[in-house]
Structure 1
């Protein structure tokens, strides 16, 4: 580790200078040799570095999402050229070039932060040895050696023996308790950060080996931090714990406000956005409009959560626009003005289903239609128009006692009046 730290010694002077500036600020409040003054100086160093790395973090998010989008294509290439590794690598590089994606972009924040991490380790290791480094003169080095955090010196490590801790005015028990607690917190924060990424912010429609690797790293990284953490000084543990907490909070913010398409976080986000649109009638914020703009541009390629969001807007009477805004649907407003507030979102009234008739009602209707047709035929044969019935016969009524329809009261005239000669045939009441 000393060899690696020495390789990054070119940055130890800037790191030591930043720590000294923050120490002069906090030392005026807590005391120059206070553990809080030196500890907060390290925390402030982390915050300053992470703020400077925000542009790289944004690139990391875009690169990670681009890699997730390319996973199906990468899987096809692997299956197509599984026996030709060279052709497989060439096709992969071609795919990266065409999509403008760089696999190393997802590692940029870690790579950019590594020099500061090793420089800080080198600074704290020199403090433990009582050596001047960077802008830290002997007086500041002695002040840092006397600084304790909950009884553990900043330069102490879990593996230090009693003889190693004696010059630092500390005992083994205090140092190991503090270092174990910090290592556990550091590992848990790393695990939670990776877990919320895999459970909430991953496109669940894509099943590739890349996802399995990410799940494996979710358990491997905390173990790596725990193993190497026992060799880190307390000051480095403060640095790494702070950066893990910052990463966790930064990722929670991104998942809440700009989730990955197709993830469970996106479904929750779109539900919240739909409620806000229903309440205010508009989309506020450039980021929200950018998300809606991307959803509208997808067209038929939208995932289920995005389709549900667009359909929900239509039901509420809104239409998403290509620029990411929403407007009140003019067609819906006009239909509601004509048909009333009960009109459907499409502007058409709900069709009423006819009532279901019984079997007896259907048979009576058929019989009545047949009788009406026969009467019209008889009227046509006699050269007279079909008379209108004086009484309306209810549906389903049966003829009385074998009386013919010609002599019935409902017909209104006799067979003789019809002008037909010869014997008349009586009609059965069961004829249809």
Structure 2
């Protein structure tokens, strides 16, 4: 790993271990799990302004979709003219078609840190204490085994599937009448990608995914109301 990336990893490690030490007398062996949840909630709280902006952008995008379709049909044979017209339309409306991706992009560094912290036996020149934490007997640094004697991965997969189902319903509600069948199908299937993701990341990263996707569903439900 490049040296300039070691500093944020080491800083995150010391922050997380300090939090684990502080809450361990209260929750025992589940301190690392709770620390991941607390840190994730803290990060999502900091991203609320971006989420609000993204929600406004998505609503504005829904209004722009008919106009975007007209421009696409009108300038289909002239990509450069189409790009200029779309840019002008977005500038006039004060939004962008990519506004809804802001919270997701902002979370990527935190997800990378979580993956890195629980994938390494040594951090900052010292033994990684975080990977010894466990959930239902499964260490947080463990990847999804094909056969396991602990229910941790099964429970995680079931909870992610439930959250994905609610997320898919919310995504479908946000689509307007101009949405194509492919767009609707993708809106139904993409949320379930989290279940596939946890098969390739440490258990700790899966806990992060469950926490952040649950937050997203609750946040979108509140904003839509």
**TM-score, length basis structure 2:** 0.88
Report the equivalent of 2:10: 13
Any gaps of 5 or more consecutive residues in structure 2?
none
Q: Which has the larger radius of gyration?
A: 1
SS of the counterpart of 1:174? coil
Question: In the alignment, which residue of structure 2 is the partner of 1:186?
Answer: 160
2:214 is the alignment partner of 1:245: yes
Give the whole-Å Cα distance in 2 for the aligned partners of 1:17 and 1:49. Answer: 17
For residues 102 and 14 of structure 2, what CA distance do their matches in structure 1 show? 25
Q: Give the aligned length.
A: 225
- The equivalent of 1:174 in structure 2 is 149
Q: 1:228 to 1:94 in 2, by over 3 A?
A: same
**Residue 181 of structure 2 is aligned to residue 198 of structure 1:** no
How far has the Cα of 1:79 moved from its partner? 1.1
Q: Give the equivalent residue in structure 1 for 2:123.
A: 132
For residue 147 of structure 1, report the CA deviation from its aligned partner. 2.3
DSSP 3-state at the match of 1:71? helix
**CA deviation vs aligned residue, 1:103-124 (integer Å, no higher than 9, x gap):** 2221110000000001110000
Alignment of 1:146 with 2:132, yes or no, is yes
User: 1:225 deviation in Å?
Assistant: 2.1
Give 1:10 shift: 5.2
Task: Give the TM-score, by structure 1 length.
Answer: 0.48
User: How does 1:273-312 map onto structure 2 within 5 Å?
Assistant: none
RMSD: 2.5
Unaligned runs of 5+ in 1: 161-171, 257-432
Provide the C-alpha distance between the structure 2 equivalents of 1:229 and 1:196, rounded to a whole number of angstroms.
22
Deviation at 1:43, TM superposition (A): 0.3
Deviations 1:160-192 (CA, angstroms, capped at 9, x unpaired): 7xxxxxxxxxxx5225x4213312322331231
Mean CA deviation greater in 84-93 or 240-249: 84-93
Alpha-carbon deviation of 1:89? Answer: 1.6
Distance apart, 1:48 and its partner CA: 0.4
**2:220 corresponds to 1:254:** no
Q: Deviations for 1:181-225, whole angstroms, at most 9, x for unmatched residues?
A: 3123223312312312423x55xxx4224x645422323324422
Give the corresponding residue for 1:75.
Answer: 69
Q: Distance in 1 between matches of 2:119 and 2:181?
A: 38
Which aligned pairs between 1:98-137 and structure 2 lie closer than 5 A?
A: 98-126=92-120, 130-133=121-124, 137=126
**2:84 maps to what in 1?**
90
How big is the shift at 1:59?
0.5
